[in-house]
Amino acid sequence: MQFTEYFVTLLQGYGVDTVFGIVGIPIVELADAMIDAGIKFIACRNEQSASYAASAYGYLTGKPGVLLVVGGPGLVHALAGIYNSMCNMWPLLVLAGSSEMQHRGGFQELDQVSLLSPYVKYAARLNTHNINDVTYDAMRLATATSAGTTYIDIPGNLLNRNIEGNPEAFDIATTKSRPDPVALAEVCALIRKHGPHNVLLVVGKGSVHASDEIRDFVNLFAIPFLPTPMGKGIIPDSHPLNVSSARSRALKEAQLVLILGARLNWILHFGSSPKWNPNAIFIQVDSDATALGHNNPRNQRLSLQGDIGLTVKELSTELEALSWRCSGLSETLQSTISANTKKLQMLESHPVLKLNYNVVYATLRPFINDQATIIIAEGANTMDKARISFPTDYPRRRLDAGTNATMGVGLGYALAAKVSKPHKTVLLIQGDSAFGFSAMELETATRQHLALIVIVMNNGGIYHGKDPNLSTRLPAPSTALTTACRYDLVGMGLGTHSYMINSLPELEKAFKNALQDSHRGQSSVINVVLEPGDQKKLSFGWQTRL
């Protein structure tokens, strides 16, 4: 059997039905063999977008996303998505062609196994004898314990070789472990001793597969909770114990913090004061041993390693036996939530001469079916404000730049969302800077009949946009982009319906039309011209507003 047929049959044996990538010599033959065998091949316009799409596909489906690229520069361009999957712990299998000549200056020669081996979970080069073993290990390790990236190197001279034997795929079981019962008992005793007040549950995207168990846990023990940005919906945002609208107050009050599937990194301010109560005790629950104790040396011994769903169930059983209950929201939290909710409502309803984020999002929100919509938000202010403005009651309905906080993910994520969830409405909200990273993928969406709604929040620049009072004769600041650029015409040229927006009535009409376009299988670009923001010194102010 020829290699391409052999390898494609093997991949299908592992359930691979979708591959993202860009072809070239020599792997074009492999991509065509995939298509002939019925695998959906999403041919993107650059490897960065393809790699982001494959990584998000792994997160959305729970099985490895698959990326196919050429070697050398093709793989180098794909490093963005590879790094993204490693940092977010999303399952990804990368396939790349490579030069059969090593260390001789061959065409696009690069020692790709050596390049990736220190960083990915597994990397190996195929030959005529190891195809079954290498593929099994790559698929197994992409999802084992903590998900991540694996890599298979395909020498160009292998593609036309005949392979003896038969492709043999195996069932890949996800092993679930329970926490150490001694450590669990110690944690529960500490929780009971601490009492019912000032307890906070932090829910990260790593616990997305344990939504039912965590919802039951919160309801049973009345614990206030804070979702991380991509942990939204694991517990409904509409739940009365959600403290997102009083985030800063909740961090300062918390004395005992139970963290599920989240890391004490920059998103959670490293667990440090002044954002957090300096005396807070952090109890981390995760299947990833490397996350336990990170930025938490004082409480590392209280960590619980194991499957989050199983661990939460065992915590519930133990705490119920101890007759422990939390006291719910404190009066100060309730007061802060009420005040901040009213403040946001005032911002959204305040009359404006020019459009801003708050009024645009408030106009869109009534027309969005939460359960049926996946929202991807990308861009500094665009993303931060969207996290507050678009709550969700369902897991994996909100995607953004995540752990890496990188721009360029938007259209790749949107493609993955529509491919993996074809019956969902996929809404991508991007800043004008973020749109520029991967706008050509609109052609991919059109060609592949993937209906997306893309809203460009166009303030003429990065972060706060360009100062309208700044003379055009001066050199433009580093954050400036073309004012009122016609991104809608870019979309039109790439096959989408397009709308130029300068007012709220125009926005409402365009969004309704875009929803109809999406239901008919057609993409739309809505170019929303915003007022520039305050021209103050830029600073990193993650979630300082609430």
Q: Note the pLDDT tens digit of each residue in 318-334.
A: 999 999 999 999 999 99
What pLDDT digit, counting tens, does each position of 292-301 carry?
A: 999 999 999 9
**Alpha carbon distance 542, 534 (integer Å):** 17
**Alpha carbon distance 432, 383 (integer Å):** 12
Closest to 159 in 3D by CA, of 17, 37, 6? 6
Q: Is the pLDDT of residue 177 over 60?
A: yes
Question: What are the angstrom distances between the C-alpha of 257 and each of 236, 251, 262?
Answer: 19, 9, 12
Question: What are the angstrom distances between the C-alpha of 509 and each of 172, 314, 425, 432, 499?
Answer: 49, 51, 17, 21, 10
Q: Is the pLDDT of residue 542 over 50?
A: no
Higher pLDDT, 347 or 107: 347
**Alpha carbon distance 389, 190 (integer Å):** 37
**Alpha carbon distance 76, 83 (integer Å):** 11
Q: Is the pLDDT of residue 543 over 60?
A: no
Cβ atoms of 178 and 311 within 8 Å: the answer is yes
Q: What is the pLDDT of residue 546?
A: 45
Cis peptide bond N-terminal to 278, omega within 30: no
Angle CA(397)–CA(544)–CA(80) in degrees, nearest 5?
50
What pLDDT digit, counting tens, does each position of 444-472 carry?
A: 999 999 999 999 999 988 876 666 666 56
Helix, strand, or coil here: 368?
Answer: coil
Phi/psi at 317 (5° precision) = -60, -45
Q: Is the pLDDT of residue 544 over 50?
A: no
**Alpha carbon distance 215, 211 (integer Å):** 6
What pLDDT digit, counting tens, does each position of 373-390 carry?
A: 999 999 888 999 999 999
What pLDDT digit, counting tens, does each position of 515-539 carry?
A: 999 999 999 999 999 987 665 554 5
Task: State what percent of residues in the chain have pLDDT above 70.
Answer: 95
Q: What is the pLDDT of residue 466?
A: 64
Q: Is the pLDDT of residue 541 over 60?
A: no
The sign of the torsion formed by the CA atoms of 284, 286, 291, 293 equals positive
Higher pLDDT, 405 or 133: 133
DSSP string across 256-288: EEEEES--SSGGGGGG-TTTS-TT-EEEEEES-
What pLDDT digit, counting tens, does each position of 20-74 carry?
A: 999 998 899 999 999 999 999 999 999 999 999 999 999 999 999 999 999 999 9
Listed range (105-109, 148-152, 397-401, 488-492) with the worst mean pLDDT:
105-109
Q: What is the pLDDT of residue 138?
A: 98
Q: Pairing between strand 425-431 and 373-378? A: parallel
What pLDDT digit, counting tens, does each position of 306-322 carry?
A: 999 999 999 999 999 99
Q: Is the pLDDT of residue 92 over 80?
A: yes
Q: What is the pLDDT confidence band of residue 545, given thresholds at 50, 70 and 90?
A: very low
Q: What is the pLDDT confidence band of residue 476, given thresholds at 50, 70 and 90?
A: confident
- One-letter amino acid at 33 equals A
Q: What is the pLDDT of residue 462?
A: 85
Q: What is the pLDDT of residue 25?
A: 84
**Alpha carbon distance 448, 40 (integer Å):** 10
What pLDDT digit, counting tens, does each position of 139-164 carry?
A: 999 998 789 999 999 999 999 999 99
Q: Is the pLDDT of residue 339 over 90?
A: yes
Tokens linked to 385: 């404000």
DSSP string across 79-119: HHHHHHHHHHT--EEEEEEE-S--SS--TT---HHHHHTTT
**Alpha carbon distance 95, 115 (integer Å):** 14
- One-letter amino acid at 365 equals R
236 CB contacts (<8 Å, ≥6 apart)?
A: 215, 242, 392, 393, 394
Q: Across all residues in the chain, what is the average pLDDT?
A: 93
Residue whose entry in the numeric block shows the structure tokens 């982009």: 481
Phi/psi at 545 (5° precision) = -80, -25
What pLDDT digit, counting tens, does each position of 224-273 carry?
A: 999 999 999 999 999 999 999 999 999 999 999 999 999 999 999 999 99
Q: What is the pLDDT confidence band of residue 475, given thresholds at 50, 70 and 90?
A: confident
- One-letter amino acid at 268 equals L
Q: What is the pLDDT of residue 353?
A: 80
Cβ atoms of 364 and 358 within 8 Å: the answer is no
What domains lie within the chain, and their CATH numbers?
3-158 (3.40.50.970), 181-333 (3.40.50.1220), 350-529 (3.40.50.970)
